[in-house]
Each structure stands twice: as structure tokens, then as C-alpha cells.
Copies of this chain bind each other. A is one copy, B any other.
Amino acid sequence: MRTHSRVSRPSQQKLPHILRHAARVFSEKGYEGASIRDISRSSGVSLAGLYYYIESKQKLLYLIQIYTFKAVLERLEERLRGVADPVERLRVLIRNHLDYFLRHPIEMKVLSHEDEALEGEYRKEVLDIKRRYYDIALGIFEGMRREGLARRLNPRVAVLSLFGMMNWIYTWHRPGVDPRADALAETMVGMFLHGVVDGQKSLRVKPARVVRSRRLAAVRAAS
């Protein structure tokens, strides 16, 4: 297994090398739009040579998705260990998600965007991890409700809205223009917990706006 083979390439392991290039091609052209020939060209491995490492195009996507998703999930479970406070757990989840997302944007785009491309057993396995990830988030939200911290919102809608907020990032985030992972995470934590509307502060600083704010609160309470 661990053969110390000396080949022409400096890369010790070729499968990861292929997976990296495949992920890039998939992210740029989409799974169906990308051809094995594109991946061959990008990775420098011949068309036939690729099939020594992977048995199909589907398997290629499967490996990318499963590696990526498992990494996100494992890091999350690790960082969640020992954290009891639901709000802190939520903060950890969002930070972990965005941190991984912006550190591996290519793989995460493939994971987010090529959600329906896999079929059969491959699909089922990725869906299984997705379910575990979702259950953790749902558990956190229900933990908040149990402690009286969360409003009586549909938990499923709340959690999936949060996922939407986070996963949509791949469509707009540009490094250098948009905030980095840590700042973005704090912003989204704040938005998810307290929304975009000012709390007490603005009432004190700008008394003229009190009426409007009170009206808003009334509307909110009624809904």
C-alpha cells in the first residue's frame, strides 16, 4: 500500500492531485458540463491514465463531495465537543462552516452546487452525511428553544434559512472585496440571532425614530 515509488512526478500521491484538478474543473463548468478530457488536460494525466485511479466520472465527484463534507462534519463535531451553551454551539457551527467554505471555495462550490448530480449509492452516502449535519444544526436550534432563547419559529425553516445564507456565499463572495471568514461568521451569527434591526441602542441615540421602531415591534409581535 505505502510503496515508496519513485516516478517522474514530484507529487507523492496522484489521486489527490487529480481530485484537486477535477474539483476545479467541476466548479468552473459544472459536473455535466465538464468532460473527463478537461480533467485530463488540467491535471496533466492522460485520458486513459485517469481510469487507473478512478473508475468513473461519478466516482470522481463522489470522492470530492464525500472528502469535503466529511472534513467539514468532523471538524464541526470536534469543535463542538465540550461546548454546551446552544448559542455558543451555533456560533461554532457558523464559524466552522464559513471558515471551511472560504478556505476551500472550489470544493465547497462543487458540494453545494452539484447536489443532484450523483446517483444511486453514491448519492445516498452523501445525503447521509448531509442529514447528520442538518440534525446537528436542528439540535442546536431546538436547544436554544428549550432554554427559551429562540423565538417560536419553524425550526426546519430557521435552520435551512441559515444554511441558505451560508451556502449561497459561493455565488457572490470575492476574496479581497468581501469580509474574511471570521468577520463574515460574526456578521452572520449576529444576523441569524438578532436580525439587522437595531436593538436598544438606536432608541437612545435617535429618539426621533422611537415611534417608528415601536410600530415595528408591534407589527412583529402580531405576526
Interface positions of A (Cβ within 8 A of B): 29-33, 85, 87, 113, 115-117, 141, 144, 147-151, 153-154, 156-158, 160-169, 171-172, 178-179, 184, 186-199, 201-202, 205-206, 209, 212-213, 216-217, 220-221, 223
A172 CA to B157 CA in the complex, in Å?
9
A221 CB to nearest chain B CB (Å): 8
Question: Smallest CB-CB separation from A88: which chain B residue?
Answer: B219
Say how many copies of this protein the assembly contains.
2
> Known: A148-B202, A209-B148. Contact between A193 and B190, CB under 8 A?
no
Contacts of A192 in B (CB 8 A): 191, 195-196
A157 CB to nearest chain B CB (Å): 5
Interface of A is mostly: helix
Contacts of A213 in B (CB 8 A): 149
Contacts of A179 in B (CB 8 A): 154, 157
A215 CB to nearest chain B CB (Å): 9
Question: Smallest CB-CB separation from A147: which chain B residue?
Answer: B209
Contact yes or no, B202 A195, CB < 8 A: no
A151 CA to B209 CA in the complex, in Å?
13
Contact yes or no, B33 A149, CB < 8 A: no
Question: Smallest CB-CB separation from A186: which chain B residue?
Answer: B223
Contact yes or no, B149 A197, CB < 8 A: yes
Give 19 A-B pairs besides A85-B212, A190-B220 with Cβ atoms closer than 8 angstroms. Answer: A30-B116, A31-B32, A32-B32, A33-B117, A148-B198, A148-B205, A153-B187, A157-B188, A158-B191, A161-B187, A165-B168, A186-B223, A190-B223, A191-B195, A192-B196, A193-B196, A194-B197, A195-B195, A201-B221
